[in-house]
């Protein structure tokens, strides 16, 4: 038979394969036109081709559905059949198995020059050298790129299919998909060209042979070499998955191995983006290497490619295919119902880890297979895939990072037990020192009543002053006197400054209670309930301040009747002028004694003075007294009072701090230090600008982990919403509550958007520059809450967080123990701790802050690392900025500087050594123990808040300890026996 006749055999055969079986014989007779040799050869091929059919979905109206029905395919979907010559056993009749793309230099029984003879110049650029192979998807030639001086492979579609739009679309799809995947273990596709109406693909020429040919030639591959090939195969397939592409036709014939042992994955003709695979395309693939869900026409996922990978690995390690059948129906039965023989029964020296991972890949249920091919590589062992990816110049995917180090099964039992014991001991120390170290516990140590009892006392005070009407709404809470704090901070006292802040009478801490005849809808809907939010403007509103012992400090009442031009509420039937005249004429004497008695004012120590201040509301009678309290004989106290028609409407106790024009926000700035806040603000602004640019670029290039960023944003929203839900003052009115909720959304969604930007900007660069820091984090985001590595890093972070609290406590205690001037505690933290005494929302706020601060710290470290290209430079910058943002900038801040250097070093160690999960757990424990009032005395009124905080930390420790063991027993009796 001449070469021309062989070429005609191929063309006629391929077209006949696309026709219904009952029409094939007539078609062959008609096309062969009396050429008996060609007709006989085609009929022989048609009788054999079903043994290795490759299923490719086509138009639902294709008559091929009848053929597949006869072959035993059931269920929806229709198919084309594309011959895989290598698997059908007819390569000796035409050419070598070659539908993978770039062929080998194998010899053949005869020389078939193909459609192009050697020396032919194609498209004015490529000089044909030889025909490498021919398969159902085309012919592949070796050629020289005259323009670039390189050897390439050219793949041509079968001539009869050149005008078929369906086949042309598949041809173009192979180029589109393959060009998306750039990796050393993926055959590179350069371009698509055309010559004489026939289109071709130019691709990388691989001087080697495919895995199918190699396995037929030598049998199974030695285990060490097979492991090397397997890891490269996983890396290339992972690169496709990173782009959201499923190969769907992974098999030995599509794996090329060059002369250096380098692996290339070829033939992306059936590949498709995961989210673009249509229902009629679900069964694409080669039956011998298709997953059960592919054969059943169900949704295909990455785990479908993992199944095919498992089949390739099985054949590579054992030298035999996992399943062997003579028909499509039999392949479907084997893949869906039968399990292959364990590889160890075929090869006796196979490593147990290899057998375990191969059998996991071949699980019938996709959920039981490894979640990624990277996880397969990690489970195979024998190399660090993460380092290999980085060495290749690529950025590992989130899945690759999550799978990295899967050989690490968490902490050793002895280490986990030691960490837990150390954490419990340090937690006990923190609990014992907290009442002496922190402002809130010291300030309310004399309070004998809880907030509910103080609220009752406030209502009794109002009734005793003549305000007994029933109100519709009310609220209460603890507050800090910002003016008093600023005054104490401005004084150059020594250790006695803490004593001033913690005194109960005319001191820093007070309890406020307010009522309103109408619903109170706060303007700052995400904040704690506040004394003056909403403002005291509605007639009938009342506000009372008590010191921690329940003694009156301040009274503010908006009268029901406002006198003069500002009158808003008047008795029915009266004009403003009449009401003003009557009020002026009917001025009622005021009895100030009940008011002074409620404030426990000793009139023997106070004397009347002329009023010196106008009250914030209208009043017709003013009064003032000056004197001293017995506990502070050198401090002049002034009392201002006002009344309207004989009823007190205003009362306030003022000291030397009365002229300090300071708000709560200003006091918080002063307490943190203006330099600290400037550094923090500049860092945040710089990170926001840089992060926004990086996020935009990562989003455009597709490098950003959008899924992870979205999960983070959802977590922030949940924490923020829960914080608002427990913190806000809710009202029993649907419309008002919706207004409250709408206002809260701004405060909630801003950090959500911010964290989405930061994460999208940060995460790809972390994966590229420092992927070790987010291995456990990537597993956590992927849903592996009980992963042992996550548990280990959480346990370490929580332990360091608790230990760092001892450093913070000593920062406050050591100067006072040494009778030195101690820096004042933060106004903001003291305020939060007061509110946390009776508010559960702080727990969620701590989680929110831990996530945010952990990401900010890591983002800063990564940016400095990228800019400086030195780890040590990033570490030094981290410590310096941490100190500048947190340490006190006052002459008495020696202990503060030392404490922040230690804490910053611990944070840096956690980030570098154990990553994001550890630093978040550390910050979370710190914030819980910092923001909640901790005490060992469970009889105090804020004991419940202390129990919530301690129980939360213990729960975190217990869960992380159990998870870190990874199922390993604490004590091994076998170890005891060996000893």
* CB neighbourhood size of 109 (10 A): 10
Provide the total of helices (H) and of strands (E) in the chain, helices listed first: 35, 21
Pairing of strands 542-546, 632-644: unpaired
Residue 694, SS3 per DSSP: helix
- The encoded tokens of residue 887 equal 């340490």
Tokens of residue 783, six digits:
């849903």
d(C-alpha 625, C-alpha 603), whole Å: 9
Give the distance from CA 429 to its chain's centroid: 33
Please count the residues of the chain. 979
Which sign, positive or negative, has the C-alpha torsion 769, 774, 775, 780? negative
Distances (CA, A) of 301 to 245, 274, 277, 433: 10, 7, 10, 55
Pairing of strands 189-195, 198-204: antiparallel
For the annotated catalytic residues, the residue numbers are: 249
List helix spans (H) across 262-384.
292-295, 302-318, 328-337, 343-346, 352-361, 373-380
CA distance 625 to 607: 5
CA distance between the termini of the chain: 79
623 has which bridge partners? 641
Q: With beta carbons less than 8 A apart as the criterion, state whether 547 and 510 touch.
A: yes
Q: Which residues contact 160 (CB under 8 A, 6 or more apart)?
A: 11, 14, 15
Strands of 198-204's sheet in order across: 121-122, 126-135, 138-145, 150-156, 198-204, 189-195
Residue located via tokens 């070499």: 225
User: Furthest-apart CA pair in the chain: how many Å?
Assistant: 134
Encoded tokens for 41: 């050869």
Cα separation, 826 vs 202, whole angstroms = 68
Q: Is residue 397 a contact partner of residue 242, using CB atoms and an 8 Å limit?
A: yes
Which DSSP letter does residue 447 get? -
């Amino acid at each position: 038979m001449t070469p021309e006749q062989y070429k005609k055999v191929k063309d006629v055969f391929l077209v006949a394969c696309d026709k219904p079986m009952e029409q094939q014989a007539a078609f062959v007779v008609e096309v062969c036109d009396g050429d008996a040799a060609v007709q006989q050869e085609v009929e022989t091929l048609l009788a054999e081709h079903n043994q290795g059919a490759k299923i490719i979905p086509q138009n639902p109206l294709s008559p091929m559905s009848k053929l597949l029905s006869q072959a035993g395919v059931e269920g929806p979907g229709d198919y084309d059949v594309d011959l895989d010559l290598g698997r059908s056993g007819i390569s000796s009749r035409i050419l070598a198995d070659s539908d993978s793309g770039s062929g080998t230099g194998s010899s053949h029984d005869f020389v078939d020059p193909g459609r192009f003879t050697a020396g032919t110049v194609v498209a004015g650029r490529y000089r044909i050298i030889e025909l490498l192979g021919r398969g159902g998807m085309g012919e592949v030639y070796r050629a020289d790129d005259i323009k670039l001086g390189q050897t390439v492979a050219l793949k041509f579609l079968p001539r009869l299919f050149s005008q078929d739009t369906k086949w042309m679309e598949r041809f173009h799809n192979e180029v589109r998909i393959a060009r998306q995947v750039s990796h050393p273990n993926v055959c590179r596709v350069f371009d698509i060209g055309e010559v004489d109406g026939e289109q071709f693909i130019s691709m990388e020429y691989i001087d080697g042979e495919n895995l199918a040919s190699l396995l037929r030639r030598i049998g199974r591959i030695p285990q060490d070499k097979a492991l090397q090939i397997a890891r490269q195969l996983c890396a290339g397939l992972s690169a496709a998955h990173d782009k959201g592409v499923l190969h769907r036709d992974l098999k030995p014939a599509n794996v090329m191995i060059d002369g250096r042992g380098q692996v290339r994955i070829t033939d992306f003709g059936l590949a498709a983006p995961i989210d673009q695979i249509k229902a009629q395309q679900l069964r694409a693939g080669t039956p011998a290497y298709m997953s059960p869900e592919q054969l059943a026409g169900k949704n295909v996922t990455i785990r479908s490619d993992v199944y095919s990978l498992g089949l390739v690995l099985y054949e590579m390690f054992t030298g035999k295919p996992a399943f062997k059948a003579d028909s499509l129906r039999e392949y479907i039965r084997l893949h869906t119902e039968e399990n292959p023989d364990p590889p160890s029964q075929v090869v006796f020296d196979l490593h147990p880890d290899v057998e375990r991972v191969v059998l996991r890949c071949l699980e019938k249920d996709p959920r039981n297979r490894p979640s990624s091919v990277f996880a397969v590589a990690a489970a195979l062992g024998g190399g660090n895939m993460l380092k290999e990816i980085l060495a290749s110049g690529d950025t590992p995917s989130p899945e690759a990072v999550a799978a990295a180090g899967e050989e690490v099964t968490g902490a050793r039992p002895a280490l986990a037990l030691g960490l837990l014991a150390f954490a419990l001991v340090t937690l006990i120390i923190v609990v014992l020192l907290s009442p002496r170290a922190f402002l809130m516990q010291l300030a309310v140590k004399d309070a004998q009543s809880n907030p509910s009892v103080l609220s009752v006392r406030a209502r009794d005070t109002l009734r005793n002053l003549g305000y007994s009407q029933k109100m519709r709404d009310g609220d209460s809470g603890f507050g800090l006197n910002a003016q008093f704090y600023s005054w104490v901070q401005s004084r150059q006292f020594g250790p006695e400054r803490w004593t001033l802040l913690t005194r109960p009478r005319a001191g820093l801490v007070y309890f406020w209670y307010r009522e309103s005849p109408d619903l109170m809808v706060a303007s700052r809907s995400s904040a704690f309930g506040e004394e003056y939010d909403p403002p005291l403007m509605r007639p009938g509103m009342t506000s009372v301040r008590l010191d921690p012992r329940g003694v009156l400090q301040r009274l503010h009442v908006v009268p029901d009747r406002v006198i003069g031009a500002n009158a808003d509420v008047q008795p029915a039937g009266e004009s403003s002028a009449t009401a003003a005249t009557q009020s002026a004429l009917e001025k009622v004497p005021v009895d100030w004694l009940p008011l002074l008695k409620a404030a426990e004012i000793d009139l023997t120590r106070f004397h009347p003075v002329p009023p010196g201040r106008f009250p914030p509301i209208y009043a017709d009678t003013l009064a003032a007294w000056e004197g001293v309290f017995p506990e502070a004989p050198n401090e002049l106290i002034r009392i201002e009072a006002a009344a309207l028609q004989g009823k007190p409407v205003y009362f306030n106790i003022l000291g030397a701090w009365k002229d300090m024009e300071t708000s709560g926000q200003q006091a918080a700035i002063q307490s943190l230090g203006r330099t600290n806040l400037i550094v923090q603000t500049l860092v945040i602004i710089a990170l926001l600008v840089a992060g926004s640019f990086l996020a935009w670029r990562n989003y455009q290039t597709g490098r950003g982990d959008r899924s992870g960023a979205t999960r983070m944003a959802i977590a922030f929203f949940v924490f923020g919403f829960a914080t608002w839900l427990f913190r806000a003052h809710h009202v029993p009115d649907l419309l008002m509550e919706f207004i409250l909720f709408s206002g809260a959304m701004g405060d909630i969604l801003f950090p959500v958007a911010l964290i989405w930007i930061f994460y999208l900007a940060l995460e790809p660069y972390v994966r590229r520059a420092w992927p070790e820091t987010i291995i456990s984090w990537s597993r956590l985001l992927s849903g592996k809450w009980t992963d042992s590595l996550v548990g280990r890093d959480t346990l370490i972070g929580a332990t360091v967080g608790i230990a760092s609290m001892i450093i913070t406590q000593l920062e406050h205690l050591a100067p006072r123990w040494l009778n030195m001037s101690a820096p004042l505690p933060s106004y903001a933290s003291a305020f939060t701790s007061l509110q946390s005494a009776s508010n559960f929302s702080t727990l969620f706020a701590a989680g929110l802050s831990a996530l945010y601060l952990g990401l900010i710290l890591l983002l800063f470290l990564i940016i400095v690392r990228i800019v400086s290209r030195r780890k040590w430079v990033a570490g030094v910058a981290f410590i310096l900025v941490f100190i500048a943002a947190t340490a006190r900038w006052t002459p008495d801040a020696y202990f503060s500087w030392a404490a922040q250097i230690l804490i910053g070093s611990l944070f840096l160690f956690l980030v570098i050594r154990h990553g994001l999960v550890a630093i978040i757990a550390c910050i979370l424990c710190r914030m819980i123990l910092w923001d909640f009032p901790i005490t060992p005395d469970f009889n105090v009124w804020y004991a419940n808040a202390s129990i919530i905080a301690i129980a939360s930390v213990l729960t975190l420790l217990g869960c992380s300890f159990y998870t870190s063991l990874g199922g390993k027993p604490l004590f091994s009796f076998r170890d005891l026996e060996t000893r």
